[in-house]
Amino acid sequence: MKNVFQILLLGFVFARAVSAADLNIEITQGIDNPIPIAIVPFTWEGANAIGEDIAEVVSADLQQVGEFRALGRANMLSMPDEAAEVYFRDWRILAQDYLLIGKINHSPGSQLVQVQYEFFDVTREQKLVGEVLTGSVEELRDIAHEISNVVYEQVTGNRGAFSTEILYVSAEFISPDLTYYRIEKADYDGHRSQILVESQEPLMSPAWSPDGRQIAYLSFETDLPRIYIQEIGTGERRQITNFPGINSSPVWSPDGTKLAMVLSKDGSPDIYVMDLMSNQLTRLTDHPRVDTEPSWTADSSSVVFTSDRTGQPQIYMVPVAGGPGGFAERLTFDCFYCAKGRFLPDGKNLVHVRRETREDNSYGIAVFNMDSQRVITLTDTSLDESPSVAPNGSMIMFATKVNGRGILDAVSIDGRVKFRLPSAQGDVREPSWSPFLN
């Protein structure tokens, strides 16, 4: 595993967003008793074939989080597309708890479609929700993800994250002298990937703005590491740091007004915060050892970071209002190596990369509860790093290696569900899960 304090020299070549190779999702572990649900193919009422199967997308969404098991289409006794055609006894015979049906209407000569869906509780013989969603033919996958969100929330009570996206860094080896490094954006499940930044030198630290419209990242196009902010929609960007030495690890505050980062302009690497309206810079830590990997608390009042000030990497927290050299509270004590801390939305559970002892040579993803001091280890592969939390707090995406290749894995917050996003070409690493986008 790379040293958390290693700062790579970066290069950058600006490119407009173009299509990239999708990641291919693989479910590697689910819960023992998933919820049975029948998702009937949606009826298409149009002249030409469409490119997306909404029922298939919803089925994949719900099964990828591991909590649902979709009934195979060959086992369905009927295929209704409206409530009047639903006979609950058919679905009870098939031991289904829930039923989703729908139809898609398309007017000739129009790019707009109307998707009507209805969702039922089979046991209670009750319609839980139904609505009509309108969009273009190209937005059918977005509509499917939104239906998945509704179904997930109706059953679990928690908001679904199927309409979110991820950023990640990919590396495609061309020859011993040429590797293409890219910052890519894709749906949470790896589909519809786009290249946002491309370089022949390494890129790192992609991070979302809270409104999902911008990214921050590190480049080396001026021969020195510098931080940039880029508009996703237009590709317009601006350089926001030009300090001597290390400029790295940008991350937005949840309120969108500030950017935490690591700078070494005053000596050793320390944590700084920049006000994005005034460009005013505030130094939060002042220590001769390395302070790095900042992240924010949910209320934007404090920054969590990694430091080796006690000899080995541990996780600390410092208030933003504390000023230079403010008191940093140590959060982790019972591990040889704890790094890359990220709070879940509840503000009580800290996701981090963990190595238990000096003799233990594996790095896994764990959750530390601040109240109970209990640690739950979620992964057991040996090179796990860069955890990023879904905005609903249900899943953690992280980078790991399988057969020598960098891939992305995801694990549920209770460790029971896992899925994998290997790339069809090259390595992928440093995932960053978006905020809610609608």
Q: What is the pLDDT along the chain (438 residues), one digit of tens a residue?
A: 334 333 333 333 333 344 566 665 555 665 568 999 999 999 987 666 677 899 999 999 999 888 899 999 999 999 999 999 999 999 999 999 999 999 999 877 778 899 999 999 999 999 999 999 999 988 999 999 999 999 999 999 999 999 999 999 998 889 998 888 899 999 999 999 999 999 888 899 999 999 999 999 999 877 789 999 999 999 999 999 999 999 999 999 999 999 999 999 999 999 999 999 999 999 999 999 999 999 999 999 999 999 999 899 999 999 998 666 568 999 999 899 999 999 999 999 999 999 988 888 888 999 999 999 999 999 877 788 999 999 999 999 999 988 888 899 999 888 888 888 877 677 899 999 999 997
Q: Are residues 425 and 387 in the same domain?
A: yes
Q: Are residues 280 and 325 in the same domain?
A: yes
Q: Are residues 206 and 347 in the same domain?
A: yes
Could you give the CA distance from residue 103 to residue 118 in angstroms, rounded to a whole number? 9
Q: Which of 365, 383, 391, 388 is nearest to 427 (CA)?
A: 383
Q: Are residues 205 and 326 in the same domain?
A: yes
**Does 3 map to a domain?**
no
Q: Are residues 134 and 183 in the same domain?
A: no
**Does 2 map to a domain?**
no
Q: Which of 121, 85, 124 is nearest to 100 (CA)?
A: 121
H or E segment to which residue 58 belongs: helix 54-64
H or E segment to which residue 112 belongs: strand 112-121
CATH of the domain at 70: 3.40.50.10070
Q: Are residues 51 and 116 in the same domain?
A: yes
Positive or negative torsion for Cα 429, 187, 227, 331? negative
**Does 364 map to a domain?**
yes
**Does 59 map to a domain?**
yes
Q: Which of 330, 210, 204 is nearest to 259 (CA)?
A: 210
Q: Are residues 275 and 414 in the same domain?
A: yes
Q: Are residues 290 and 397 in the same domain?
A: yes
Q: Are residues 222 and 147 in the same domain?
A: no
Could you give the CA distance from residue 261 to residue 272 in angstroms, rounded to a whole number? 5
Q: Are residues 19 and 56 in the same domain?
A: no
Q: Are residues 223 and 332 in the same domain?
A: yes
CA 227 to chain CA mean position, Å: 21
**Does 410 map to a domain?**
yes
* Domains in the chain, number: 2
Cα angle 100-105-109, degrees, rounded to a multiple of 5 = 155
**Does 87 map to a domain?**
yes
Structural domain boundaries, residue 311: 13-25+166-433
Whether the full predicted model's pTM is greater than 0.75, yes or no, is: yes
Final residue of a structural domain among 100, 126, 156 = 156
Final residue of a structural domain among 156, 186, 215 = 156
Q: Are residues 255 and 400 in the same domain?
A: yes
Cβ-based neighbours of 259, under 8 Å, separated by 6 or more: 216, 227, 229, 240, 250, 251, 252, 253, 273, 274, 276
**Does 261 map to a domain?**
yes
Final residue of a structural domain among 137, 156, 175 = 156
**Does 7 map to a domain?**
no
Strands in 299-426 per DSSP E:
302-307, 314-319, 329-330, 337-343, 349-355, 364-369, 375-377, 385-389, 395-402, 405-412, 418-421
